[in-house]
Amino acid sequence: MCRTMSRRLKSLSGFGHYTHAVVRGVAASLAKGALRMSPSEVDLAAARKEHAAYVEVLKTKVGLEVIELPADESFPDCVFVEDAAVVCGDTALITRPGAESRRGETKLMAEALKELNMNIVEMTDESATLDGGDVLFTGREFFVGLSKRTNQRGAEILAEVFKDYAVSTVPVTEGLHLKSFCSMGAPGLIIIGSSEPAQKTLKTMQEMSDFRYDKLTVPDDVAANCVYMNLPNKGHVLLHCTAEEFPQSVKMFEKFKDYMLIPVSNMEKVKVDGLLTCCSVLVNKKAI
């Protein structure tokens, strides 16, 4: 078996295995200063409460070791740590976010991942932009959304860093990021929103891939953003939206009979385009 294929199969067998999560506090400046695609009023206290609940789920229900970075008032969006790094195996690519106002967020993330003994690669090409929210890793390959925040050069650098995996780009015509309407629900299973743009993007991904993916379509695009893990002593775990937010989509998740299903509220952070995957960077230290 060739080395590349061996690594791919090893990665797939460990897909969803995590030991650590890096999160960051909610800055007071988020309410007024965070970027957003449409005007909205954010209840800061409620945003902090729901984020604290999210972090507590990672610590107690899921059992990860959580590294909590402090908020920085200079960076209103800093709670959305996913955009600052793409982690795969023992390597962390520190991104160059598409929004110039967010580029300073990556410094603290790089330091935290270095403390975990990860191989750190910094994206220094000033022509490149990449947000982690545009990167979907399936365990077999990467899909990178070309969006308002991520460009072709950013995708090319990701491909150079993670040479063992195919990297395909797909246009993101609606929503902020690729993962604004999709995420992984298991090895080989993509959770996808029901909108026409979301379904069209999935079709493009399927056509570009050498692998076959099953899909679970949920009525609400935002609800398709979930956090999947496969953990010792817990098995399949899915953090998903609450029934209060998206009742019809939550009914779809009930099909996962052998999963630990954990509803997590995101009613405030979604107002500034933040979703569940946005709020943590997951690491499997056993892979390091």
What amino acid positions are annotated as catalytic residues?
A: 177, 278
CA distance 178 to 185: 15
Say if CB 138 and CB 190 are below 8 A apart. yes
Can you give the C-alpha Rg of the chain in angstroms?
17
Q: Which helix (H) or strand (E) holds 90?
A: none
CA distance 266 to 246: 11
SS3 262: strand
Q: Measured at the alpha carbon of residue 87, what is the angle toward residues 94 and 21, in degrees to the nearest 5?
A: 105
Q: Which helix (H) or strand (E) holds 44?
A: helix 44-56
CA distance 10 to 139: 9
Q: Name the nearest CA neighbour of 31 among 45, 52, 17.
A: 45
Residue 283: how many CB atoms within 10 A of its CB? 25
Residue 159: how many CB atoms within 10 A of its CB? 16
* 119 beta partners: 91
